[in-house]
Amino acid sequence: MSKKIIIANWKMNPASSQEAMSLFSGISKNVSQIKKTIVVICPPFIYLPSFSKALAGKGKIKKQISLGAQDAFWGDTGAYTGEVSAVMLSDIGVKYVILGHSERRVLGESNENINKKLKSAISANILPILCVGELERDENHEYFNFVKNQLLECLNGIPKNLLYKIIIAYEPVWAISTTQNRRDATPLDSREMAIFIRKIISDKLGVGMKMPRIIYGGSVNNKDAGEFLRYGGIDGLLVGKASLDVKKFTDIIKIAENENN
Site string for ligand PGA, 182-221 (x = CB under 6 A): -----------------------------------xxxx-
141 is catalytic: no
Which residue in the set 176, 193, 201, 253 belongs to the binding site for ligand PGA (CB under 6 A)?
176
Which residue in the set 40, 97, 240, 252 belongs to the binding site for ligand PGA (CB under 6 A)?
240
- Do residues 192 and 134 touch, judged by C-beta distance below 8 A? no
Which residue in the set 5, 8, 9, 90 belongs to the binding site for ligand PGA (CB under 6 A)?
9
Which residue in the set 96, 241, 251, 252 belongs to the binding site for ligand PGA (CB under 6 A)?
241
User: CB 146 → ligand PGA: shortest distance, Å?
Assistant: 17
Q: Which is nearer to ligand PGA, 212 or 240 (CB)?
A: 240
Q: Which among 45-53, 169-177, 198-206, 248-256 is the span making contact with ligand PGA, rule CB under 6 A? A: 169-177
109 is catalytic: no
Could you tell me how many residues of this chain bind ligand PGA (CB under 6 A)? 12
Q: Which among 120-128, 159-167, 190-198, 238-246 is the span making contact with ligand PGA, rule CB under 6 A? A: 238-246
Q: Among residues 109, 134, 171, 257, which one is catalytic?
A: 171
In whole angstroms, what is the distance from residue 114 CA to residue 99 CA?
6
Rounded (5°) CA angle 48-229-109: 45
Q: Which among 57-65, 83-91, 136-144, 234-242 is the span making contact with ligand PGA, rule CB under 6 A? A: 234-242
Residues linked to residue 170 through DSSP beta bridges, in sequence order? 132, 216
For 63, other C-beta atoms within 10 Å of its C-beta total 10
Cite the active site residues: 101, 171
Contact footprint for ligand PGA (CB under 6 A): 9, 171, 176-177, 217-220, 238-241
